[in-house]
Structure 1
């Protein structure tokens, strides 16, 4: 059975545009790129980093966190991390505690308060002590529940990916194994 549906051209184009463009990208009524450009200092407009959305768990605090780095981390120089909080529903607001891994120094306040009912932005400054990967840890507490998010701060080149020493061989059931010689 073949089903042919005919749409007037304006309806067809609207349907096509809506089905190909994620509606969640405009959930707040403003495209992410335009929102992002407002938060960075004028000096860094040439290199606007995209927003990264922190993953969520079903039992987290309920606060959505998006973040981005305002520049490329360099050893001994400050790097601004822009944090954007949304979804604070507790009338008392939410509290944020910041910590850093070894290799990073936090030069901003280690605690923030986020008001309820509005999107809030905060800028945090970290300084990398040397090359490598370290994390800015963000703990968000609202209504007795806590979210823990680790934001990677890569200073210098990333470590090269490790190579497997053995050969990958498929098994008859579809699984794969890596065979390595015994040493």
Structure 2
């Protein structure tokens, strides 16, 4: 056993159902105890965080649903992003940073996110390259399918070490090219 708390973040899904589903799944694996008010409580080293789709209304709905299902609010922490202010978040432009490839024990492994509750959020997998098209748009290409000479990706980190140290102005100048 190790010190710390395992915090589980549900993937995108229908609120509040996804929260209850995760709580029930964790309870099946780790069990629960009861609070003085009789609500179910996961073991102290297991908790859930819900950040997707949180605004004042969904927060209240989740807590009411949990209480009605017999769950203690102490099981859950809430994160909040753009939904509380302007309803602007990474899904607005379908933009996210995700791991697509890893080396585990010296062996390459494709990594993919493929949520069953939202097929539109499936990520690309494997080693990727980034190519600028003739019309100025960009394409992400799976390794082996593009032109290696056109790949614009540059290794910046390797095993936690910075391999390229650029001045902020250099990055800003590069971002303004073509605008």
- After TM superposition, is the score higher than 0.5? no
Normalising by the residue count of structure 1, what TM-score does the alignment of the two structures yield? 0.23
- Richer in strand (by share): 1
Normalising by the residue count of structure 2, what TM-score does the alignment of the two structures yield? 0.23
- Richer in helix (by share): 2
